[in-house]
């Protein structure tokens, strides 16, 4: 069952974020606290939204999807960036990832979003296979750019 996350899900979402970070070989980078996630998802000015996949038999959370809105100057419309899609190892292959993506796609259409975008690590073949099976377009000509830490501070100091 796919449903909107609730404040009660925050501890389990944080646990799954840590699991995802470990899977992506970057556990030390997953520093978000439960308080930060709660504020981002359910505070007075939410920055993101989340869905969870709940096992209908056990009631346990099998996975989650966390997204935030984007805006395209080209289309003049909002879109969705999927920040995280994670299904716990024991639940993989059960259709939870596909169901989460389908629910997000339906939300996009209901909301007038024209784009639904996400990133995938080049080595994550299982995820790439899923995305290809859905007909996702891979934008190989685009590169992700990021400033953090000292480099971010250096650029900011130039203002």
Q: Which residues are catalytic?
A: 131
- Residue 17 has a pLDDT of 98
d(CA 68, CA 84): 10
Structure tokens at 109: 């259409």
d(CA 26, CA 33): 16
DSSP symbol at 130:
H
For residue 59, count CB atoms less than 10 angstroms from its CB and return exposed for 0-12, middle for 13-18, buried for 19 or more: exposed
| Angle between the N-to-C axes of helices 96-111 and 125-133, in degrees from 0 to 180, rounded to the nearest 10 | 50
> What is the average pLDDT score of the chain?
95
pLDDT, tens digit (0-9, with 9 covering 90-100), for 40-95 = 999 999 999 999 999 988 899 999 999 999 999 999 999 999 999 999 999 999 99
- Residue 123 has a pLDDT of 93
């Amino acid at each position: 069952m796919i449903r909107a996350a609730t404040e009660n899900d925050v501890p389990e979402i944080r646990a799954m974020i840590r699991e995802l970070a470990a899977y992506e070989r970057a556990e030390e980078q997953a520093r978000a606290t439960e308080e930060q996630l709660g504020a981002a998802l359910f505070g007075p000015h939410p920055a993101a939204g989340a869905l969870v996949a709940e096992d209908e038999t056990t009631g346990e959370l099998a996975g989650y999807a966390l997204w935030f809105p984007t805006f395209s100057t080209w289309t003049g419309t909002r879109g969705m960036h999927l920040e995280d899609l994670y299904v716990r190892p024991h639940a993989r292959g059960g259709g939870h990832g596909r169901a989460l993506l389908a629910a997000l796609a339906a939300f996009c259409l209901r909301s007038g979003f024209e784009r639904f975008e996400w990133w995938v690590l080049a080595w994550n073949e299982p995820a790439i296979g899923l995305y290809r099976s859905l007909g996702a377009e891979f934008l190989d000509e685009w590169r992700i750019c990021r400033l953090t830490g000292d480099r971010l501070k250096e650029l900011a100091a130039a203002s």
